[in-house]
Amino acid sequence: MNPTRPAVLLGLGVAIAAYLLSFFHRVAPAAISGDLQVSFAIGGAQLGTLAATYFYVYTLMQIPTGVLADTLGPRRILWWGGLVAGVGAILFGLAPSFELAFVGRTLVGLGVSVTFIAMLKLLAIGFDERRFATLTGLCMLIGNLGSILAGAPLAWATQAAGWRQVFVVVGLLSFALAFASRAWVIETPAGKVDRTAWLSGLVSVLKNRATWPGFFANAGLSGAFFAFAGLWAVPYLTQMHAMSRAVASSHVSIYFLGFAIGSALWGRVSDALGRRKSVALAVSGLHVLGWGVWLWATWRADGALPLAASYGLCLMMGLATAGFTLSWASAKEVNPPQLSGMATSVVNVGIFLGPAILQPMVGWLMERTWDGRMEAGVRIYSAGDWRNGMLLLTAAAVAGWIATLFVRETGCRNIWKTEDEK
């Protein structure tokens, strides 16, 4: 018996809410970076590692999640994911030491790693494939509220109640969503993928050369974006552009507001034009140009931008960064429809592998030239230190744009049978 449309929408709503929380966790360290350094007496490299452990486990879980989405279904993986994320968030909030905080953040990454692929699977089985990119963008628009909440609102809540209390509450919300997913998320229709034959399906996706350009594009473009906006943006803006933490955090919120709008906008534009690659190339090119401005500021004696310009740049870069979100539709359209979970999960690995590498690398590069200056337990980096980090992020963005050149144009339709015939 096919599920009714209200049942599909209700389950999708739960998945989007879980995705919102996953985005909150992804970027929250940017707003509380100073608090974390003081609470655990850590430097830039350790701070980067603590933030990036979310991405480490998320990266490792993407392909297994795709397999699980195609075999067990989204309802079961959202249930278990919500429980694990809840335990991790509470442990992170209560952790007395860096080591326990690391374990908590790892559990958070493990728990929320299933949310996005589960959401895509619900879209793939419940809606017309010609609207996939549009609907994915709309879901991301809503889900990105989590990243907006992890900017200025989190900074405010941290000052009012403390960062630890905030994460305990978020952990309890994860538990609530786990129970909601068990009650309301639909079961995947039976018979789509033989659970004993999933390995051959995964091998088919991995052997498909058309799958991989999206992976490398995501590693560079989203890697630079999340490494910066998810951790280093607030300290960069406070130290290089003389902003208060509240103002810098509001820039992160604007960054993700642009990303949320762009996620919905570019999917709609792509579906309307019947093109994936050309849209992704154009907007990702703007993303690369934005990095030139941040990098330029590190060479200026007074590189601080006027507030209107810095807010505008964050909005533009957020909009442009969202070009990489077309990679999921592209990957789905060059692989068998019944393997959509595995196909999207493979390119999704790049989104988390990029920041997993770049977040600690930025800290490590800056630590190499850091002169030891500190204020209130927070390390203060010079323009030269920041230049080292920004050069790395700029290079990653350029590499991601180059990889986009090799993405196969699908015309917004599934072409895998045609590729088999060739």
pLDDT at 2 over 70: no
Show Cβ contacts of residue 198 under 8 Å, excluding neighbours closer than 6 positions. 67, 70, 71, 342
* Paired tokens of 150: 């992890």
| Residue 131 DSSP one-character state | G
What digits encode the pLDDT tens for the residues 294-320?
Answer: 998 888 766 678 899 999 999 999 999
| Residue 182 DSSP one-character state | H
407 falls in which pLDDT band (50, 70, 90)? Answer: very high
116 CB-side CA count, 13 A:
29
Show Cβ contacts of residue 336 under 8 Å, excluding neighbours closer than 6 positions. 201, 204, 416
Alpha helix stretches (DSSP H) within 232-276: 233-240, 245-273
What digits encode the pLDDT tens for the residues 230-265?
Answer: 889 999 999 999 899 889 989 988 998 898 899 889
What digits encode the pLDDT tens for the residues 273-297?
Answer: 889 999 999 999 999 999 999 998 8
Lowest mean pLDDT among 104-108, 144-148, 183-187: 144-148
Q: Computed from CA positions of residues 303, 314, 220, 380, in that sequence, does the dihedral angle turn out positive or negative?
A: positive
Nearest-angstrom CA–CA distance, 253 and 263: 15
| Cα distances (Å, whole numbers) of residue 217 to 109, 176, 328 | 22, 35, 11
Nearest-angstrom CA–CA distance, 351 and 226: 9
What is the b/e burial string over 41-75, where b = at least 16 CB atoms within 10 angstroms of the residue's CB?
ebbbbbbbbbbbbbbbbbbbbbbbbbbbbbbebbb
Nearest Cα neighbor of 85 from 148, 173, 11 is: 173
pLDDT at 419 over 60: no
pLDDT at 190 over 50: no
| Cα distances (Å, whole numbers) of residue 259 to 100, 241, 324, 362, 406 | 32, 22, 10, 22, 23
What digits encode the pLDDT tens for the residues 191-234?
Answer: 455 555 677 888 888 999 999 999 999 999 999 998 998 889 99
User: What residue type is assigned to position 422 of the chain?
Assistant: K
- Residue 329: how many other CB atoms lie within 10 Å: 24
pLDDT at 140 over 50: yes
DSSP SS3 for 378 = strand
Asked if 347 and 327 count as a contact pair (C-beta separation under 8 A), the reply is yes
